Each structure stands twice: as structure tokens, then as C-alpha cells.
Amino acid sequence: MPMTFETPAGTGEAMVLSMGPQHPSTHGVLRVALQLDGETVIDAKPDIGYLHTGIEKSCESKTYSQAITLTDRMDYLAPLSNNLCYCLAVEKLLGLEVPKRAQYVRVLLTEMTRIASHLVWLGTHAIDLGAMSVFLYCFREREEIMKIFELVSGQRMMTSYFRVGGLALEPPAGWMDRVAAFMETFPGHLNEYETLLTENRIWKMRTIGVGVVTPEDAIAWGMSGPTLRAAGVPYDVRKYFPYSSYEEFDFEVPTRTESDCYARYLLRLEEIRQSMRIVKQAMGKIPAEGPIRTDAPGIVAPQRENMKTEMEALIYHFKIFTEGFSPPPGQVYQRIESPRGEMCTYVVSDGSPKPFRVKFRSPCFVNLQALPLLCQNRLIADVVACIGTIDIVLGEIDR
């Protein structure tokens, strides 16, 4: 796509430079057209769409349950958050209440997702700015979380573990020990990262005062998540519109006011600590036994044992997996706090077993739009820091 700029060039000779889509710091396939005056960025235009796979269109030809697998493939660093957002939306449409045990497991796993996602962010952001070792350590700890996801759902990444009405499977015996073991060792590792970066002179020079955005601009441009909170706006969906029993958990929403890359770095580390607090509370709350799926015949698949002994269960099982279920006509909008910000699912039902319209509000899509704001009048090297700091996942942006 040809890129044209309207902003006047500076005093020198302006040139247009295409950064990406193969540039390593653009995290996948993002292209940024930069208008440069020497090494100063006059304007930047992100060019997206390289990963567009028509997920929203595909959802319209799947049943409500089948569409869950597509949500994994959007934000592939936080598949469980996507699963949760979609399932909550469909549950709201149906008016379903999910058993507490399943809600707590959902909270625990989405907070683990947040930790894993922030670890990937930290590792890649650091490697973009030249700190190689942090990347290796972050991926070491993330692997432990991936193993827990595999233990629970059978998959490391494309989990599809949350289903409409509850969870796909009973979590395996002893899974909580693995979570406890991780929580035992992880705080020490987190401190290790801090010793590598927080007081590191190069790190501070690359991030302090870079990518500043005012709170007014952040709101006007629809930014959310750590980027918004680092500008001093305490908007966190978990506190504003609690879902999945978040109101029962004791945690804080960290905010900062400097609104630069360094502030966002400190803020995300604090978020990891708060997520650990929530995981610990969830570990205490999850009962050893109890239903993991709500009792909604015709919507939620029956237990395997019942299917073999009861005629109705067999019929429901057949109906659910051949035809699907039909929510009442209506439209709902479900917000959650994904690791990257306000993730929302808009589901419209026309009363048939397939969604009439599914729209995912991707926090990265909106945050990336403000990239020019962050890197105008700065150097090319700062563009790398700015792309890293807003934590984009192109799979979710392009959908």
C-alpha cells in the first residue's frame, strides 16, 4: 500500500522509510511507514492487516460452541482471556450463571495468563532494547505456566478450556500443587528481572521520557490497560465492572503518572505481583470438589456417565453437538480486562444456533492507533521502544 503523508516535512529533506513487516521489533507482521527528517520521526503510520483471517466472519458460520476455538487464535499470548471474554458474552446472552468453583478456576487461570503474557512482553521488550538475558529468563518461567495450562486443558496455547456454562474438563488431580510450586519460586525470579533492568542505566536511558501520552489523549484515543493506567487513569474492568467473581478478590490496581515506557514497565511488574495475589487467593477459594459446569440441559453438554445411562442426556448430547443451542434474540457486550487492556465481545443473536454477529474489541488494535502520538518528534530507536511498550499482538489486531 503506498503511504502518503499530509504533515509538512521539517527543515531538512524528509524521507519515507518502511519499517517492517519483517522487522524483528514489529512483533510479527506490522509495518510502520515513518516520515523522517534525518533520524527524527515526523509522522508514523502503522499499516496492519497482514494477519487478517476473517475470524468474525467465520464465527457467523459456526455454532456458539465451535466459535470458542477461533477466539484462541486471536491473542495467542492470552488465549484463556479470549475464551473467557467470549464465553461470558454468550453466558450473558443466555442468562446463565456459572458455578462458583468454575468461576474461581477461571480467575486463577486468567491471572496466570496475565503473568505469562506480561513475561513475554517483558522478554521481547527487553530484547528489542538490547537486553538479551531477560528474554531467556522470562521464557523459562513462562514455560512453567504453559505446562500448567497443558496439564489442565491438554494444550499449551490453543486451550479452549473455558466453555459456555463452565469448564471443558475437570482439572486433573494435583494441578494445584503445580500452581503452588510455581508461586513458591516465581517471586524470586521476578526480583531477578528487576535487578537486571530497573536500575540499569541503559534501560533507563532508553525508556524514561520516551513515548509519553497525556491522560486526556489516552482516553480520547481509547487506550486501555497498562498504557492507560500508566497515564494515571485507574480504569481496570476487573474493578469497574467485575465479572467472574472478581469482586470477591482483594487486589489493587496500580497506576502511575509519568506515562512513559519506564512507567509502563514498572506498572506491568506491579500488575504481575497483583496477579500473584489473586492467584494465591483463588487457590484458597477453589473447593476440592463441586460442579464445574452449570446445569443447563440443552446448552451445556451432559456428563459422560449420565449420557450412558439417561435417555434425555443422550438426546441433549446429540442435539448440542449436531445443531448447537439457540440463545434468545438480543445483543450483549461483555468487557474483560485482558493483559493488554479492555477486551470486549459483542455478540448478537437472531435466535438461531449460530451467532448473527460477533465482534471482538481488540485492545491492541486501539492502542496501536495511538502509536504516532507516542513517537512523533523522537528518534527511530524510540519507535522500537514505543511499539514494545504498547504490547501488541498482531493476531488480535488483524483478527
Q: Which residues contribute to the site for another protein (CB under 8 A)?
A: 1, 48-49, 52, 54, 56-58, 61, 92-93, 95, 219-222, 233, 235, 240-241, 328-333, 335, 342, 344, 346, 348, 356-357, 359, 361, 365-366, 369, 398-399
- Min separation Cβ 352 and another protein, Å: 13
- Min separation Cβ 5 and another protein, Å: 11
Q: Is the bond into 21 cis (omega within 30 degrees of 0)?
A: yes
Residue 48 or 210 having the CB closest to another protein: 48
What is the rounded end-to-end Cα distance, in angstroms, of the chain? 19
Residue 59 or 126 having the CB closest to another protein: 59
Residue 151 or 348 having the CB closest to another protein: 348
Kindly tell me the number of DSSP H helices and DSSP E strands found in the chain.
17, 8
- Min separation Cβ 29 and another protein, Å: 12
- Retrieve residue 63's grid coordinates: 455454532
Asked if residue 359 lies in contact with residue 55, where contact means CB atoms within 8 angstroms, the answer is no
Asked if residue 42 lies in contact with residue 376, where contact means CB atoms within 8 angstroms, the answer is yes
Residue whose cell numbers read 530507536: 381
- Min separation Cβ 58 and another protein, Å: 7
Q: For the beta carbon of residue 349, count every other beta carbon within 10 angstroms.
A: 22
Residue 89 or 116 having the CB closest to another protein: 89
- Min separation Cβ 121 and another protein, Å: 22
- Min separation Cβ 366 and another protein, Å: 6
Please tell me what DSSP assigns to residue 127: H
Residue 41 or 370 having the CB closest to another protein: 370
Please tell me what DSSP assigns to residue 230: T
Asked if residue 374 lies in contact with residue 390, where contact means CB atoms within 8 angstroms, the answer is yes
Residue 236 or 260 having the CB closest to another protein: 236
Q: How far apart are CA 31 and CA 26, in angstroms?
A: 7
- Min separation Cβ 362 and another protein, Å: 9
As a dihedral over the C-alpha atoms of residue 332, residue 333, residue 338, residue 342, rounded to 10 degrees, the angle is 180
Nearest to 114 by CA among 338, 367, 341, 330: 338
Residue 209 or 222 having the CB closest to another protein: 222
Nearest to 343 by CA among 227, 271, 217, 237: 237
Asked if residue 362 lies in contact with residue 74, where contact means CB atoms within 8 angstroms, the answer is yes
Per-position b or e across 39-69, b if 16+ CB within 10 A of its CB: ebbbbbbbbbeebeeebbeebeebbbbebbe
Residue 211 or 363 having the CB closest to another protein: 363
Please tell me what DSSP assigns to residue 172: P
- Min separation Cβ 4 and another protein, Å: 10
Residue 37 or 56 having the CB closest to another protein: 56
Q: How far apart are CA 208 and CA 97, in angstroms?
A: 46
- Min separation Cβ 18 and another protein, Å: 15
